[in-house]
Amino acid sequence: MFALFDALLAKYGKLYFISERVGAVLRRGLGFFPARALEPHLQAILGRMVASFAETGYASFIWIVGKLAAKFGDASRGPSGDRVGQILGGAFQRIAEDLKKLIEIKPAESMPDGE
């Protein structure tokens, strides 16, 4: 399913209403799958969320990264914990850097944060 959402975001992710709808589906859909089923796709999902946030500044992409961090928090202490922790940490670091750049050129009050 993520391949479909990934293609949709790659093509139409700059349109706020589309990115918000895709984000809502992803946030809710994460609850249907155990972390071990999502782990092989974690890097691809986070990569798209980080790239989309860097491109648009839309907060919905940060929400999804946060949901993934919550879901994989326990997994970061498990057998593949180092890899999961590095992937999540890298995503948060890139988002923090992009957010810092964005705030330097645009006031935070003018950024959409969802509805």
End-to-end CA distance of the chain: 25
pLDDT score at 78: 65
On whether residue 115 sits in a domain, the answer given is no
pLDDT digits (tens, 9 = 90+) for 21-30: 998 999 899 9
pLDDT score at 82: 82
User: Would you place residue 115 in the very low, low, confident or very high pLDDT band (cuts 50, 70, 90)?
Assistant: very low
Enclosing H/E stretch for 63: helix 60-72
On whether residue 112 sits in a domain, the answer given is no
On whether residue 113 sits in a domain, the answer given is no
Over 50: is that where the pLDDT of 43 sits? yes
- Span 34-56, average pLDDT: 92
Put residue 78 in one of left, alpha, beta given phi > 0 → left and psi -120 to 50 → alpha.
beta
User: Would you place residue 5 in the very low, low, confident or very high pLDDT band (cuts 50, 70, 90)?
Assistant: very high
Q: For residue 47, which of 106, 1, 3, 100 has the smallest C-alpha distance?
A: 3
**Residue 65 to residues 15, 92, 103, 109: CA-CA distances in angstroms?**
19, 8, 19, 21
pLDDT digits (tens, 9 = 90+) for 56-114: 989 889 999 999 999 887 766 666 678 888 899 999 999 999 989 988 887 767 666 65
pLDDT score at 91: 95
pLDDT score at 92: 92
On whether residue 6 sits in a domain, the answer given is yes
On whether residue 75 sits in a domain, the answer given is yes
In the chain, the number of structural domains is 1
pLDDT score at 104: 87
On whether residue 63 sits in a domain, the answer given is yes
On whether residue 27 sits in a domain, the answer given is yes
On whether residue 41 sits in a domain, the answer given is yes
Domain range holding 15?
2-106
